[in-house]
Each structure stands twice: as structure tokens, then as C-alpha cells.
Amino acid sequence: MGGVTDREADSAAVPATPFDLASMRKQYRAEGLSETELAATPVEQFARWFKQAATDGGLFEPNAMVVSTADAQGRPSSRTVLLKHFDAQGFVFYTNYDSRKARELGENPHVSLLFPWHPMARQVVVTGVAWRTGRDETAAYFRTRPHGSQLGAWASAQSTVVAGRRALDAAYAELVARYPEGEQVPVPPHWGGFRVVPQAVEFWQGRENRLHDRLRYEAEADGGWRVERLSP
């Protein structure tokens, strides 16, 4: 008789979930998405959907997106970040350049963005390459942030181990004393933006019986876009 592996033993020790996960599903009944309805470019189509998400979607933060990166060895990591700008040149977010995501983008600039608009039974997935924004663009955005958020960019050495909440609060309190409300906070040299230049953008619309609509824009060498329908 074969023995029980460590992994099997660990699995057996985990208590059963009180939920029947296999039966947790929703039947999507939203209208579909056809090729004839699409805008000429993915950014134009994204603008249409984003406007609906921001005004009619019932979403708390429609600009929240899951940013997935990978290090030089291909090990992935994901986190939720807020989109702060988009245009024909790409999708922009800001972060600490010493954070894990920024370090990984320095090693491997390929990135994926996922907008999970669940109440609308929609998703948008952007895949592309991320490049740092210029310092002027970074400074212009930094000036629009609330005073507390500006101080937070200095107080937190993002992704590093911190001794405890007390240490973080103490660092912030020191900055509040140094830069009181109304005094200009300098832009941290270790903080700035990334612009994700899209190479492909998929628009996913939930449909009945899991026969979802998935339409993907793929960048072409001449600067144009072709549209492909993917099986759900």
C-alpha cells in the first residue's frame, strides 16, 4: 500500500469550506458584443466602456485594475492599482520605483492589466510593455494628489519589511511636522509613473451558458489594429 505524501497530508488537514464552491455561479444575461459595434481602436473602445462603468456600472472604483508582472525568472506577481490616465499612447499608473512591481518591470517590461467590472459582467485585459513616464509628467500628477497622499509616498518604503504599524505611523507623523498642510511637498525621486503601451486589448462580455463574447484587438506592424474573436 502506498504511503501518503506530505502534500496529501497537508491537504487532508485543511478543514472543508462551509460553502459549496462548485455551485457558486451566476447566469449572465447581458447583451452581447459584436464586431460591428467596436470602435476603430482599443483605446476608443475602452473609453466607451469606461464611461459606462464610471456612470452606470455601480462600481466602487472603476479605475481599479489588477497589474500583473513577472521577474527575470518568470515568477509572476499581481496587485490592484488605480489607473490614473489613458490615451492613444497607453495606460498610466504611479508607484514607488523601489516597489516589487517596479523592480520586476525593470527586469521584464511585459505587463498585463485586468479591469474586473463584475457588476457589468465585463472584463478588459490589456497586455503590453511598460515604460517609465517622464519626470515632468510625474511631477504634474504628483501635484494633483491630496497632501496626505503626497506625504505617504515619502513615508512608505513600498514592498519592504516594516517593523510594525507604529513605525509607519511615526514616519508619517514626522513628515506631517516637516511639511504641514499648505506647504509644497517635493516629488520623491524614487516615485513615478509607468505607461503601458498596449500590444493587445481584449474586451470580455459575459453571456448566457458561459458562451461569452471575447473580442481582442491585436496591434499590427503598420500601427493599425486587427480584431479577433476568441472562443469563450
Query: Each residue of 137-192: pLDDT tens digit?
Result: 999 999 999 999 999 999 998 898 999 999 999 999 999 999 999 999 999 999 99
Name residues of the chain where pLDDT drops below 70. Answer: 1-14
Please identify which of the residues 48, 75, 178, 210 carries the catalytic annotation. 210
* 210 classed as catalytic: yes
Helices (H) and strands (E) in the chain, counts: 6, 9
Q: Kindly state the helix (H) or strand (E) to which residue 114 belongs, with its residue range.
A: strand 110-117
Work out the number of other CB atoms within 10 angstroms of the CB of residue 196.
Answer: 26
- 66: which strand partners? 80, 114
pLDDT at position 231 = 96
Q: Residue type at 74?
A: G
pLDDT digits (tens, 9 = 90+) for 59-68: 999 999 999 9
Tell me, yes or no, if the pTM score tops 0.75.
yes
Q: If phi over 0 gives left and psi between -120 and 50 gives alpha, with beta otherwise, what is residue 90?
A: left
